[in-house]
Chains A and B, each alone.
Chain A
Amino acid sequence: MTPQLLWLATLDGVAYAALVFLVAVGLTLIFGVLRVLNVAHGSFYAIGAYTAASLGIAISSGGLPGWLSYPALILAAVLIGTLLGSLIERQLLARIYGKEEVLQLLVTFAVFMILEDVQRLVWGVQPYFQDTPLRLLGTMEVAGVFYTRYQLLVLPATALVVLVGLRLFLRHTLQGRVILAVTQDREAAMAMGIDAHRVYLTTFVLGASFAALGGALASPTTALVPGIGSDMIVLSFAVVATAGLGQVEGAALAALLMGLGRSFAVYMYPEFEVLMPYLIMVVVLLIRPQGLFGVAETRRI
């Protein structure tokens, strides 16, 4: 494998990992606080992507300057995260918090199924392609390889900003510490007077927004077709499980691992491309069922 290919594989892996991280971090946050595995998380990704693409198309057909497509990406993420996220959390999840975990998970599965069809109804089955944000930044040369500035800089930078920002938010702001408290011991937090329902809503909307951001950022790099949500949810789930449920920094590492594993497979053993993340997941879980950074469960009698 030539140094150029090696470099390309690395850059590909990092760019991909950035997107997966954004989705995974939302998923793991939601699980940490609400104790619900949100199967519909992939739908936020997909709808975020479609919305960003639609906004982008509206901008270019409206004759507006191309650079507006960048804030449009953020706008799409915030819109979808806030509107769709709060709708689902308030109207559905809030009704089933007391129920068995399986039922809660199936509720999110049902939402996923519904949103899959909503995507088809709104955007149809033909591929959407809106790459203005990618094109505008052009390419640059890195160690003899040409790569798009968007994938090289924007994606990893956003992921880093989210990672660092989230860490600062969770550890150094009141809202964030409240979220951490609920993650670590829900009963104790509620006994201290923390309004759990508000925390759930905030966390869910935040998590959904990250997923939608991942989708929005992904949309300039690929053709959007039905099914991208279902592929992304299972992949980000693999990242979360490998890192350990509720682990934010761990999710970044696991995403990097999966991203690099996948991209190296693409260049070296293409048949193993899809396999890599799940193989990694199996190996990690068999050795450490709680994930790389997760907390082991304790005994009880």
Chain B
Amino acid sequence: MSALLEAEDLHINFGGVQAAGGISLTVESGERLAIIGPNGAGKTTFINICTGYLKPQQGRVRFRDAEITARPPRAITRLGIARSFQIPQLFAEHTVLENLLLGAAVRDRAWRPWWRLSGLGQRAEMLELLALFELQTVAGQTIAGLPEGVRKLVDIALALALRPQLLLMDEPTSGVSSQEKFTVMDTLDRVLRERGVTAVFVEHDMEVVSRYAHRVAVWSGGRIQALGPPDTVLNDPAVRADVIGL
């Protein structure tokens, strides 16, 4: 297994708060890496740095041996990294399908000003993608009226629509009901495996973590406190005390 994403000694400080105090992490190709930790530990900041939304004050990020530190999100996306958000970031005045079609149009460079977005060839593919998450019924609905759980799924589907090699998900199952969590994660796991997509996901639900992650990284105060397979990490007393609160 080769290193897909390498973060090296990342430092970033926001007005006195050390959101990243020397983060070094390697994501192996094909793996499922979970990131856990208390709120404010810097988990989202890590994703923000890796995807170019934030520039680290120190340290580097490499994707498939190419330097991507401080490159803008649009460049990093085009290299093959996609991301979903803690609070779903979608185009509120467009329909679910239009959101995905826009992603597909960018991906395939289908960008002529005389073509119709709604008539693009990628339409069938996007509907299939929506069907995987049972979203095909809301395909024609505007984002603005949809419940948070649905928007969360659309957010993830949009990231997948870009056919990334690496998918970074920020709390993919928050806002999804506990019954649906495993259905969603099962589907996601299957899709990721079929497409050979590496995934990193921030998660608060330890059951989800132990079931779907190959490795777990524990974040605390801007640093990685522990890293390893779920059984080891989740049963570590220090981790349990600090993070899981037991």
List residues of chain B with CB within 8 A of the CB of A301: 48, 53, 85, 87, 89
User: From DSSP, what is the main secondary structure of chain A's interface residues?
Assistant: loop
- Count A interface residues, CB 8 Å: 1
Query: What's the Cα separation between A301 and B170 when bound, in Å?
Result: 12
B48 CB → nearest A CB, Å: 8
Task: How many A-B residue pairs have C-beta atoms within 8 angstroms? Tell me.
Answer: 5
Interface of B, helix, strand, loop or mixed by DSSP: loop
Cβ of A296 to closest chain B Cβ, rounded Å: 14
Give Cα A301 to B87, complex, Å.
Answer: 8
B residues 101-157 touching A (CB-CB < 8 Å): none
**Nearest residue in A to B53 (C-beta to C-beta)?**
A301
- CB neighbours (8 Å) of B53 from chain A are 301
Q: How far is the CA of A301 from the CA of B51 in the complex (A)?
A: 13
Q: How far is the CB of B12 from the nearest CB of chain A, in Å? A: 13
| C-alpha gap A301/B52 in the complex (Å) | 13
Q: Which of B66-89 contact A (CB under 8 A)?
A: 85, 87, 89
With a cutoff of 8 Å between Cβ atoms, the chain A residues found around residue B87 in the complex are 301
CB distance from B83 to the nearest CB of A (A): 11
A283-301 interface with B by 8 A CB criterion: 301
| Closest A residue by C-beta to B87 | A301
A136, B175: Cα distance in complex, Å: 75
Report Cα–Cα, A301/B83, bound state, in Å: 13
Q: Which residue in chain A gives the minimum CB-CB distance to B170?
A: A301
B89 to chain A: which residues have CB within 8 Å? 301
Q: Mark A10-46, 1 if CB is under 8 A from B, else 0.
A: 0000000000000000000000000000000000000
CA A301 to CA B90, docked complex, whole Å: 13
Q: A residues bordering B, Cβ < 8 Å?
A: 301
The 4 closest A-B CB pairs, nearest first, are: A301-B85, A301-B89, A301-B53, A301-B87
B interface residues with partner A (beta carbon < 8 Å): 48, 53, 85, 87, 89
A sample of 5 inter-chain contacts (CB < 8 A) reads A301-B48, A301-B53, A301-B85, A301-B87, A301-B89
